[in-house]
């Protein structure tokens, strides 16, 4: 489906929320939970991911050589290898093979044949094609696109499928249950398999040295399709090549765990066709299997390029080729869980990594249609079994989409607010959010007038129309006194005696440098500085109470806002400026304490792309999430009693951590610190609040954002309805503000010695 107008996009999402949400949510959350369980239970899972990554890096590096190796081995085994340049080339070859052998094809599940629209090509040539994977069969009968890499029909419930089958096949007894539907499909497709002339499969892996095709299946259809007809055609992208069985090992342990949480698939086929397995002529009533022979067996391996060589040469898209199509990125994605692959996908591929595939295989236009659904929350980063930086691929593609746009009529409206490194013509809303720093500076300087003005009817209407900011959202309220203003002012009279000993008046810390156990910078991120200075003030007081000399220097914004809009060049420039401003502090041995988790994630993760390795390492290693830092201080002898614990009648705390904070492994510290101070803490089970920076402000995505937030609202509004709500991220706080009646706070505000 092509979705050009923003309003169409919102309507399409609304439609999917109404129709497919329930089944998609149930199935993907189930896969996701099972993946967590399976990966935790398997000792050494993380090491396996690293090993799998290395193997893929090496295999893609050696790809041309592996293609030659597999050509030799398959031919030596008696098969044929055809390297197809593109979809048409591949389809033409398969069509010729099929025409030589008959006119009926059975297929096992293959996304690669979906990519080239093989079924359509064969059907146009008069061939009957039957999908035998039950999920693929459902979408074939329904004439739909798969909605998930692993579960093509997971957007449909049993009732849906029963209605579809009863309508289409008109069985004597109407089908109802999953059991009945499965038996019906098995019998129907079983007949098709024994009648078929050609079996077409994909390949999960292709082992170059032996010419072995590895198929991972649960239903057994892949085995039947490969073993029953005489002719077997396997269609695989060239990126599926691995050198040998040795390199396959980590993938056999990873793939099912990552996909469905199974320890091992039901069937892991290691086919080196043409096989010795007897040809089965089911019309022959007398010849036993051992006399049926396998001489008529034919095997064709079609290796598909279709843009992959170019992807390999593209340093940003290259790692897409490491993908083993397990669907873990989709299952871990909060937006995907709500709308599934019919929104979050292109022509063929769905979920987070689909952006890379669609950009490489189809082109930017297709990728652009759903690219905005990636919020960069990074939950897929730890889910991916081959450690692909999927959010980065999404960001790069967003950047390319931005750069591909033409200049628009409204550019002049945001020019003054957008001192960026980006081309004219990009989406105005993106440009506005990407340059949020300018708006924040201006808004704060003119608050409260700016807040009043921004919320006035005509202005909101204009913001919705031109910038796509949804009118149902409360806008951030800018504070007239910024966090840095407060810090500077505070170094006045009250602190003068202590600060007199300072050699220079470098800020307003109440702890003299020469009496401090440590020195730290509290990074004045955009949101803490202009919108939520209270959490900065609390962080300063907490650190000082623990004996840390604090400074709040003038450091530019991190570049998170522009990066989230795909403005890579702007973010890159910001990274250099941030590092420039922090370098002397790092050299002086000061720790960098970051209140906003998405900015900490910039320093630790994304800056790796922008800064020299040594600079990135120095900043990354010395940066801490605010409460993570408190945890470290307490672990090293800090006195917890100087912080504020629960009140006598404390209602307890409901804590929602931040997506990127969890990816960094910096979320558990908050719970540990609150526990240690005696708070009764529950953690949200909902993984994502749905806000994700600017995402939830956008008119196209407002409803999706609220749909994602529903789980959190139910949890914190229901059984935990009396607890004090705390959250680490600005976005999460904004969303909780909208979802709940209670005012949420940052956890460091609970610890604040000045809290009353």
Partner 1 sequence: MSNVRIAGFGEALEDHGVSWARTDIEGFRSTLVDALVNPAVGVPLGYEGVSLDDAPVTVDPTPAELRAATTGVTPARLGVATYGSFLIDSDAKGSEPVSLYPERHVAVVRESDLVADLPAALDELGDAYAENPASAVFATGPSATGDMGALVEGVHGPKHVHAVVLENR
Both structure tokens of 198: 């050609």
Asked whether position 732 contacts partner 1 by CB under 8 A, the answer is no
Minimum distance from CB of 303 to partner 1 (Å)?
Answer: 18
8 A C-beta contact, residue 335 and residue 373:
yes
Minimum distance from CB of 300 to partner 1 (Å)?
Answer: 16
DSSP codes joined into one string, 423-451:
PTTS-HHHHHHHTHHHHHHHHHHTTTHHH
8 A C-beta contact, residue 238 and residue 86:
no
* Number of residues counted as binding partner 1 (CB under 8 A): 78
Minimum distance from CB of 293 to partner 1 (Å)?
Answer: 8
Both structure tokens of 82: 């055809």
Among 156, 300, 430, 724, binds partner 1 (CB under 8 A): 156
Please give the Cα distance from 341 to 347 (Å, whole number): 10
Asked whether position 45 contacts partner 1 by CB under 8 A, the answer is no
Per-position x/- string for 511-550, each x denoting binding to partner 1 as judged by CB under 8 A, each - no binding: ----------------------------------------
Asked whether position 342 contacts partner 1 by CB under 8 A, the answer is no
Distances (CA, A) of 174 to 140, 153, 496: 20, 20, 85
Q: Which is nearer to partner 1, 133 or 687 (CB)?
A: 133
Nearest to 422 by CA among 692, 699, 433, 370: 433
User: By CB under 8 A, what part of segment 284-313 binds partner 1?
Assistant: 284-290, 292, 294
Segment contacting partner 1 by CB under 8 A, of 4-12, 83-91, 213-221, 631-639: 213-221
Asked whether position 201 contacts partner 1 by CB under 8 A, the answer is no
Q: Which is nearer to partner 1, 192 or 318 (CB)?
A: 192
Please give the Cα distance from 420 to 441 (Å, whole number): 15
Nearest to 219 by CA among 177, 189, 198, 243: 189
Q: Which is nearer to partner 1, 248 or 667 (CB)?
A: 248
Minimum distance from CB of 30 to partner 1 (Å)?
Answer: 8
Among 80, 104, 166, 244, binds partner 1 (CB under 8 A): 244
Asked whether position 113 contacts partner 1 by CB under 8 A, the answer is no
Q: Which is nearer to partner 1, 154 or 561 (CB)?
A: 154
Asked whether position 368 contacts partner 1 by CB under 8 A, the answer is no
Asked whether position 73 contacts partner 1 by CB under 8 A, the answer is yes
Both structure tokens of 317: 């898209």
Please give the Cα distance from 721 to 306 (Å, whole number): 53
Q: Find all residues with CB under 8 Å of 635, minimum gap 6, and list them.
A: none
Q: Which is nearer to partner 1, 228 or 558 (CB)?
A: 228
Minimum distance from CB of 219 to partner 1 (Å)?
Answer: 4
Among 28, 32, 119, 132, binds partner 1 (CB under 8 A): 132
Both structure tokens of 74: 């398959």
Asked whether position 159 contacts partner 1 by CB under 8 A, the answer is yes
8 A C-beta contact, residue 677 and residue 646:
yes
Asked whether position 245 contacts partner 1 by CB under 8 A, the answer is yes
Minimum distance from CB of 259 to partner 1 (Å)?
Answer: 11
Q: Which is nearer to partner 1, 227 or 653 (CB)?
A: 227
User: By CB under 8 A, what part of segment 224-243 binds partner 1?
Assistant: 224, 227-228
Q: Which is nearer to partner 1, 218 or 620 (CB)?
A: 218
Asked whether position 142 contacts partner 1 by CB under 8 A, the answer is no
Minimum distance from CB of 179 to partner 1 (Å)?
Answer: 5
112: left (phi over 0), alpha (psi -120 to 50) or beta: alpha
The sign of the dihedral angle between the CA atoms of 522, 526, 530, 534 is negative
Residue carrying the six token digits 């004219």: 424
Q: Which is nearer to partner 1, 222 or 468 (CB)?
A: 222
Asked whether position 194 contacts partner 1 by CB under 8 A, the answer is yes
Minimum distance from CB of 25 to partner 1 (Å)?
Answer: 14
Asked whether position 189 contacts partner 1 by CB under 8 A, the answer is yes
Asked whether position 221 contacts partner 1 by CB under 8 A, the answer is yes
Question: Residue 721, class by beta-carbon neighbours within 10 Å (0-12 exposed, 13-18 middle, 19+ buried)?
Answer: middle
Long-range contacts of 724-727 (CB under 8 A, 24+ apart): 724/650, 724/651, 724/652, 724/653, 724/654, 724/750, 725/653, 725/654, 725/656, 726/653, 726/654, 726/655, 726/656, 726/750, 727/655, 727/656, 727/657, 727/658, 727/689
Please give the Cα distance from 741 to 221 (Å, whole number): 53
Q: Which is nearer to partner 1, 181 or 548 (CB)?
A: 181
Q: How many residues does the chain have?
A: 756
Minimum distance from CB of 207 to partner 1 (Å)?
Answer: 8
Among 27, 331, 332, 435, binds partner 1 (CB under 8 A): 27
Asked whether position 452 contacts partner 1 by CB under 8 A, the answer is no
Q: Which is nearer to partner 1, 264 or 719 (CB)?
A: 264
Asked whether position 410 contacts partner 1 by CB under 8 A, the answer is no
Asked whether position 151 contacts partner 1 by CB under 8 A, the answer is yes
Asked whether position 134 contacts partner 1 by CB under 8 A, the answer is yes
Phi, psi of 237 (to 5 degrees): -65, 150
Burial 448-477 (b: 16+ CB within 10 A, else e): eebbeebeeeeebeebbeebbbbeebebbb
Asked whether position 23 contacts partner 1 by CB under 8 A, the answer is yes
Segment contacting partner 1 by CB under 8 A, of 158-166, 544-552, 556-564, 634-642: 158-166
Both structure tokens of 518: 């440590």
Segment contacting partner 1 by CB under 8 A, of 5-13, 179-187, 319-327, 470-478: 179-187
8 A C-beta contact, residue 454 and residue 419:
no
Q: Which is nearer to partner 1, 308 or 325 (CB)?
A: 325
DSSP helix/strand/coil, 375: coil
Asked whether position 178 contacts partner 1 by CB under 8 A, the answer is yes
Residue 509: in which H helix or E strand, if any? none
Phi, psi of 282 (to 5 degrees): -70, -10
Asked whether position 160 contacts partner 1 by CB under 8 A, the answer is yes
DSSP helix/strand/coil, 50: helix
DSSP codes joined into one string, 517-556:
SEEEEEE--HHHHHT-HHHHHHHHHHHHHTTEEEE-----
Q: Which is nearer to partner 1, 181 or 664 (CB)?
A: 181
Asked whether position 693 contacts partner 1 by CB under 8 A, the answer is no
User: By CB under 8 A, what part of segment 248-287 binds partner 1?
Assistant: 248-249, 252-253, 263-273, 275-278, 280-282, 284-287
Minimum distance from CB of 596 to partner 1 (Å)?
Answer: 40
Asked whether position 438 contacts partner 1 by CB under 8 A, the answer is no
Among 51, 192, 223, 537, binds partner 1 (CB under 8 A): 223
Minimum distance from CB of 262 to partner 1 (Å)?
Answer: 9
């Amino acid at each position: 489906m092509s979705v050009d107008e923003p309003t169409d996009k919102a309507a399409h999402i609304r439609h999917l929320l109404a129709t497919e949400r329930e089944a998609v949510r149930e199935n993907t959350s189930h896969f996701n939970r099972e993946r967590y369980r399976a990966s935790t239970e398997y000792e050494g899972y993380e090491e396996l991911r690293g090993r799998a990554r290395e193997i893929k890096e090496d295999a893609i590096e050696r790809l041309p050589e592996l293609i030659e190796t597999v050509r030799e081995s398959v031919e030596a085994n008696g098969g044929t290898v055809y390297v197809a340049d593109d979809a048409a080339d591949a389809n033409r070859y398969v069509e010729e093979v099929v025409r030589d052998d008959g006119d009926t094809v059975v297929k096992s599940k293959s996304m690669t044949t979906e990519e080239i629209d093989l079924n359509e090509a064969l059907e146009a040539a008069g061939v009957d094609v039957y999908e035998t994977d039950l999920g693929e069969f459902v979408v074939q009968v329904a004439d739909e696109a798969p909605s998930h890499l692993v579960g093509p029909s997971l957007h449909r419930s049993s009732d849906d499928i029963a209605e579809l089958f009863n309508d289409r096949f008109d069985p004597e007894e109407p089908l109802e249950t999953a059991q009945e539907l499965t038996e019906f499909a098995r019998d129907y497709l079983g007949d098709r398999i024994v009648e078929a002339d050609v079996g077409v499969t994909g390949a999960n892996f292709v082992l170059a040295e032996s010419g072995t095709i590895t198929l991972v299946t649960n239903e057994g259809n892949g085995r039947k399709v490969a073993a029953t007809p005489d002719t077997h055609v396997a269609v695989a992208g060239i990126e599926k090549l691995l050198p040998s069985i040795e390199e396959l090992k980590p993938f056999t342990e990873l793939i099912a765990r990552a996909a469905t949480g199974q320890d091992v698939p039901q069937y892991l086929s290691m086919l080196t066709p043409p096989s010795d397995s007897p040809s089965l002529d089911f019309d022959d009533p007398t010849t036993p299997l051992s006399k049926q022979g396998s001489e008529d067996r034919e095997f064709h391996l079609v290796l598909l390029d279709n843009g992959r060589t170019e992807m390999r040469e593209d340093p940003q898209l290259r790692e897409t080729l490491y993908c083993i199509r397990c669907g873990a990125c989709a299952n871990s994605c909060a937006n995907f869980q709500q709308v599934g692959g019919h929104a979050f996908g292109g022509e063929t591929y769905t979920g987070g990594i689909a952006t890379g595939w669609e950009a490489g295989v189809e082109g930017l236009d297709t990728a652009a249609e759903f690219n905005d659904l990636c919020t960069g929350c990074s939950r897929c980063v730890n889910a991916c079994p081959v450690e692909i930086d999927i959010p980065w691929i999404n960001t790069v593609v967003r950047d390319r989409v931005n750069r591909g746009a033409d200049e628009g009529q409204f550019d002049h409206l945001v020019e003054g607010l957008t001192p960026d490194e980006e081309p004219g013509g990009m989406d105005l809303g993106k440009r506005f959010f990407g340059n949020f720093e300018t708006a924040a500076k201006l808004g704060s300087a003119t608050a409260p007038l700016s807040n009043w003005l921004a919320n006035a009817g005509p202005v909101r209407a204009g913001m919705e129309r031109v910038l796509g900011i949804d009118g149902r959202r409360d806008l951030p309220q800018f504070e007239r006194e910024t966090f840095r203003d407060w810090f500077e002012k505070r170094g006045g009279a009250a602190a003068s005696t202590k600060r007199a000993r300072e050699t220079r008046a470098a800020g307003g810390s109440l702890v003299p440098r020469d009496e401090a156990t440590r020195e730290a910078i509290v990074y004045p991120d955009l949101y803490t500085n202009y919108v939520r200075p209270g959490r900065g003030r609390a962080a300063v007081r907490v650190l000082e109470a623990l004996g840390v000399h604090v400074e709040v220097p003038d450091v530019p914004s991190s570049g998170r806002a522009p990066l989230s809009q795909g403005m890579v060049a702007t973010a890159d420039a910001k990274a250099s400026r941030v590092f420039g401003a922090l370098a002397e502090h790092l050299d002086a041995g000061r720790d960098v304490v970051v209140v906003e988790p998405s900015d900490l994630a910039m320093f630790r993760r994304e800056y790796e792309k922008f800064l020299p390795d040594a600079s990135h390492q120095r900043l990354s290693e010395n940066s801490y999430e605010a409460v993570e830092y408190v945890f470290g201080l307490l672990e090293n002898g800090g006195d917890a009693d100087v912080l504020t614990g629960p009140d006598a009648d404390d209602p307890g705390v409901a804590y929602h951590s931040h997506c990127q904070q969890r990816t960094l492994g910096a979320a558990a510290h908050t719970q540990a610190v609150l526990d240690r101070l005696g708070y009764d803490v529950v953690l949200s089970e909902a993984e994502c609040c749905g806000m994700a920076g600017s995402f939830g402000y956008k008119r196209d995505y407002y409803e999706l954002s609220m749909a994602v937030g529903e789980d959190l609202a139910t949890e914190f509004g229901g059984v935990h309805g009396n607890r004090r709500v705390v959250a680490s991220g600005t976005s999460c706080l904004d969303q909780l503000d909208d979802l709940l009646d209670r005012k949420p706070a940052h956890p460091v505000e609970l610890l604040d010695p000045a809290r009353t």
